[in-house]
């Protein structure tokens, strides 16, 4: 079946994500846009995924747990998972290596962890957008080791894009799929996402993936197949 997706959306937990990007607002906006599946991908954390997944379950939207990992070189890697527990393991790993810089809410915004009713149940004190200690050379194997699919994010952008930072796409890094607005000419499959930091930026029903079932399992298997990893 054809499933319309947007696999790169930030919540209010990202310092740069709008405060209106709550689990309920994101899920409802995605449904208004006619999407079947989204992934919540905050910077270096997945702590708002449980709420978004729970809201999605109630509303009939598949929500994949995800994270936008910042490598030591400041390259952004979209890390997609089927199960939240897998993402949690990645988060535990990188939280041990991430630089500890206190967030300044007045400059970067608050970093709120919400429950499925959009209530703030915690706040991340350390700035999430800083680099993790994970090198881009190790990122693909690390993410796959936890069961995830690593996808260099917005490779067409200079800022924090793999090609912009490194100057070229190195196949030896082990990535099998990229994220890009249009075909980057790398002879690799690619997905196109919004990277929405505001609700209105969430994708329209434009990009789709062929999956066997409308479920996290179905979508993740379809992504692996598309990436040639299955």
Q: How far is CA 57 from CA 4, 13, 99, 124, 170, in A?
A: 17, 21, 34, 25, 38
Q: Which is nearer to Zn ion, 164 or 215 (CB)?
A: 164
- # binding residues, Zn ion (CB under 5 A): 5
8-state DSSP, 33:
T
> Which one of the spans 109-117, 128-136, 195-203, 213-221 is the region binding Zn ion (CB under 5 A)?
195-203
Q: Which is nearer to Zn ion, 72 or 214 (CB)?
A: 72
Q: How far apart are CA 116 and CA 97, in angstroms?
A: 29
Residue of 52, 64, 54 whose CA lies nearest to 23: 52
Q: How far is CA 13 from CA 2, 65, 68, 170, 187, in A?
A: 30, 14, 12, 31, 34
143 sits in which H/E element: helix 136-145
Locate 184 and state its tokens: 């980057």
Residue span 76-95 as binding mask against Zn ion, x where in contact by CB under 5 A, dash where not: x-------------------
193 contributes a contact to Zn ion by CB under 5 A: no
- CB of residue 43 to Zn ion, shortest distance in Å: 7
Q: Which is nearer to Zn ion, 91 or 195 (CB)?
A: 195
Query: Counting beta carbons within 10 angstroms of the beta carbon of residue 158, is it exposed (0 to 12), middle (13 to 18) or buried (19 or more)?
Result: exposed
Q: Which is nearer to Zn ion, 36 or 70 (CB)?
A: 70
6 contributes a contact to Zn ion by CB under 5 A: no
Q: Which is nearer to Zn ion, 77 or 211 (CB)?
A: 77
Q: Which is nearer to Zn ion, 51 or 67 (CB)?
A: 67
195 contributes a contact to Zn ion by CB under 5 A: yes
Work out which of 6, 18, 42, 68 binds Zn ion, going by CB under 5 A. Answer: 68
Cβ neighbours of residue 46 under 8 Å, at least 6 residues apart?
40, 65, 66, 67, 84, 87, 88, 90, 91
- CB of residue 173 to Zn ion, shortest distance in Å: 17
Binders of Zn ion in range 127-156 (CB under 5 A): 153
Residues contributing to the site for Zn ion (CB under 5 A): 68, 76, 153, 160, 195
């Amino acid at each position: 079946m054809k499933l319309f997706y947007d696999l790169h959306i930030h919540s209010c937990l990202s310092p740069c994500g709008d405060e209106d990007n709550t689990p309920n607002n994101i899920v409802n906006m995605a449904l208004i846009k006619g999407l079947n599946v989204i992934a919540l991908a905050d910077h270096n954390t997945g702590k708002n995924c449980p709420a978004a997944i729970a809201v999605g379950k109630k509303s009939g939207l598949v929500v994949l747990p995800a994270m936008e990992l910042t490598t030591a070189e400041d390259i952004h890697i979209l890390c997609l998972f089927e199960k939240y527990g897998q993402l949690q393991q990645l988060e535990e790993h990188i939280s041990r290596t991430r630089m500890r810089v206190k967030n300044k809410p007045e400059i970067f915004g608050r970093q709120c962890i919400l429950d499925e009713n959009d209530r703030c149940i915690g706040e991340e004190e350390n700035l999430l957008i800083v680099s993790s200690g994970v090198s881009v050379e190790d990122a693909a194997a690390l993410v796959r080791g936890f069961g995830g699919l690593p996808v260099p994010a917005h490779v067409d952008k200079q800022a924090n894009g793999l090609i912009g930072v490194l100057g070229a796409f190195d196949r030896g890094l082990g990535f099998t799929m990229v994220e890009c607005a249009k075909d980057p000419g790398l002879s690799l499959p690619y997905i196109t996402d919004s990277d929405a930091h505001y609700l209105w930026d969430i994708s329209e029903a434009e990009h789709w993936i062929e999956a066997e079932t409308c479920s996290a399992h179905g979508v993740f298997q379809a992504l692996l197949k598309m990436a040639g990893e299955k």
